[in-house]
Amino acid sequence: MPIAADPFLATLALVGAVIVIAALLSGLIERSGVPQVAVLLALGAVLGPYGLGLVDARLESPILRAVATLSLALVMFTDALSVDPKDIRRHRSLTAIVLGPGTLIPALVLMGAARWLLDLPWALAAILGAALASTDPVLLRGLLRRPDLPPDARLALRLESGLNDVVLLPIVLVAMACLGGGAPGGGWGRMLLELFALGPFAGIAVGLLGVATLDLVRRRSGVRRDYESLYSLGLAFAAFAAAESLHGSGFLAAFAAGVTISLVDVELCDCFQEYGETTAEMALLFTFVLLGGSLIWSGLRVLSGPIVLFAVLAVLVRPLVLLVALARTDIDRKSLLLVSWFGPRGLSSLLLVLLPVFAGVAGAAELFVLCTLVVLLSVVVHGGSMTLLKRTAAPAAPAPTLPVLAAKEESAPLPERISLEEVDALRARGEPVTMLDVRSHRSYDQIGIPDPGAIRLDPDRPVQEAMRLGLPKEGWLIAYCA
């Protein structure tokens, strides 16, 4: 049977194509500065009905609903894990600005613009305004990885993209209840209880129970570190399912579970970071390809004067608000301009606006079409700005390299892991051994230094730090990362 005639085979082929192509092009995309999202949308267009005709996801597609729901749950969970609570406490005023006026004022302005320019009902306008106030961590990822990005700008953008969804999601859910999309039958009190209490409570309960169970098994029999990553992923899905079974918000539960793990079990939180972010990114990439087939381009078919004006306002309102809100802080001028300008709209906005679509809310499909137009404009404007910033930046010096200690026999590879007993044996033989502490900043701050003789290295720039500290080039460099 041809692949195109079998939906299951077509889906598997699409998943495989997305993963393989995204992996092969990742290095080229990173060096060129072209937004990865733009490449994925182009890939979706090639695979979609306007190209090869291999995929044509519709708003009512169960595959799109499953992938979008999974993506948003993982985004909420990984966002909660990625933000260090100490950063929030240490920079309370900056956090309050980017999540308060920096998030809510654009949402309110866009709600008013949608009401008066597009003649939308207030509840639908609130959903659209909240969705378009969400900044996208996928589009920001390339910028946040730049070594020359000022620390203040990196912190503000990371806090905003990691936390503003939890501020905007309740607006979307309450507006959906006003429109009758999945609203509870027990009135507003029950609805608010389920939204703001049952969902987070389920997430906290699953997080605490999961961490306690893992800690018990760790002490008795041990758990492989790679399986701890899978364990965290299971807790995210369990929190979502538990909340939904109680008629609460599974997305808020996933966020609450992530916050709980971040506060209670630093090791599990750090263990999940890389694997969890990769898993979430894969789901996001797949969603973008599905949307890029035909859905993302639907906004181009409804262009009109008021709609274009609304789309431009959606891109410009946030920079104007943050320029005013951050002007009196001690943030430097370069960071102020970067934080104010780089607020791309992307998959987070689309996922939020898809919630009422999946709930069958009347008029929600129109919101999705309007949201796609703003997202496309943001990909061009903000993505192009990132590309221009990369190309106009001063060329970075070539990264220093450290010579690798060769094994006595060329055919014998160096081990990736080494036990403490083997370290003691090396020292007993008189081998030069240098212990390096390359744990995440969160683990280092909360647990301290387990080996007083270990040299602390910044885990984000280990090679540069090693060269700066003048570590010995002939000897064993043993990194402690957990």
Same domain, 204 and 100: yes
129 lies in a domain? yes
What confidence score (pLDDT) does residue 451 get? 60
What confidence score (pLDDT) does residue 308 get? 94
Q: Estimate to the nearest angstrom the gap between the alpha carbon of 267 and the chain centroid.
A: 20
Q: How far apart are CA 271 and CA 257, in angstroms?
A: 15
Q: For residue range 454-480, what is the model confidence (pLDDT) as tens digits?
A: 777 666 566 666 777 777 766 777 776
Write down the residue that tokens 């240098």 correspond to.
Answer: 434
What confidence score (pLDDT) does residue 83 get? 72
What confidence score (pLDDT) does residue 1 get? 39
Same domain, 154 and 275: yes
CATH of residue 70's domain is 1.20.1530.20
Write down the residue that tokens 């720039």 correspond to.
Answer: 461
Same domain, 232 and 167: yes
- pTM, two decimals, is 0.74
Write down the residue that tokens 């903000």 correspond to.
Answer: 382
Domain that holds residue 377: 3-392
What confidence score (pLDDT) does residue 270 get? 60
Going by C-alpha positions, the residue among 402, 405, 481 that lies closest to residue 439 is 481
246 lies in a domain? yes
Going by C-alpha positions, the residue among 83, 146, 90 that lies closest to residue 334 is 146
How many CB atoms sit inside 10 A of residue 326's CB?
23
Same domain, 458 and 353: no
Same domain, 369 and 465: no
Same domain, 388 and 424: no
The two structure tokens encoding residue 329? 């802080």
397 lies in a domain? no
What confidence score (pLDDT) does residue 430 get? 76
412 lies in a domain? no
Write down the residue that tokens 């070594």 correspond to.
Answer: 147
Q: For residue range 292-337, what is the model confidence (pLDDT) as tens digits?
A: 777 888 888 888 999 999 999 999 999 999 999 998 888 888 888 8
What confidence score (pLDDT) does residue 267 get? 61
Same domain, 144 and 54: yes
* Partner residues linked to 478 by β-bridges: 435
How many CB atoms sit inside 10 A of residue 84's CB?
21
Domain count, the chain: 2
In the sheet with 433-437, reading across from the earlier edge strand, the strands are 455-456, 433-437, 476-480
Same domain, 37 and 161: yes
Q: What angle do CA 40, 375, 383 make, to 5 degrees?
A: 65
Same domain, 438 and 336: no
Long-range pairs of 357-362 with CB within 8 A, sequence gap ≥ 24: 357/59, 358/65, 358/68, 358/69, 359/176, 359/181, 359/182, 360/181, 360/182, 361/176, 361/179, 361/180, 361/181, 362/179
What confidence score (pLDDT) does residue 432 get? 79
The CB-side HSE value for 133 (13 A sphere, CA atoms) comes to 34
152 lies in a domain? yes
Same domain, 446 and 384: no
408 lies in a domain? no
| Strand intervals (E) in 170-282 | none
Q: How far apart are CA 191 and CA 247, in angstroms?
A: 9
Q: How far apart are CA 243 and CA 238, in angstroms?
A: 9
What confidence score (pLDDT) does residue 452 get? 59
What confidence score (pLDDT) does residue 132 get? 94
How many CB atoms sit inside 10 A of residue 272's CB?
26
Same domain, 386 and 426: no
Please report, for residues 40, 120, 138, 385, the alpha-carbon distance to residue 288 in angstroms, rounded to integers and kept in the order given.
Answer: 6, 27, 11, 21
Q: How far apart are CA 86 and CA 66, in angstroms?
A: 34
Please report, for residues 199, 319, 350, the alpha-carbon distance to residue 384 in angstroms, rounded to integers and kept in the order given.
Answer: 39, 16, 20
410 lies in a domain? no
What confidence score (pLDDT) does residue 11 get? 64
What confidence score (pLDDT) does residue 2 get? 43
Same domain, 385 and 431: no
Spell out, as residue ranges, where the chain has pLDDT lower than 70: 1-8, 10-12, 14-15, 30, 32-35, 54-55, 138, 142, 181-188, 225-226, 265-278, 280-281, 284, 387, 389-419, 439-453, 457-465, 473-474, 480-482
Long-range pairs of 105-112 with CB within 8 A, sequence gap ≥ 24: 105/317, 105/321, 105/325, 106/132, 106/133, 106/317, 106/318, 106/321, 107/132, 107/133, 107/168, 107/171, 109/313, 109/317, 109/321, 110/310, 110/313, 110/314, 110/317
413 lies in a domain? no
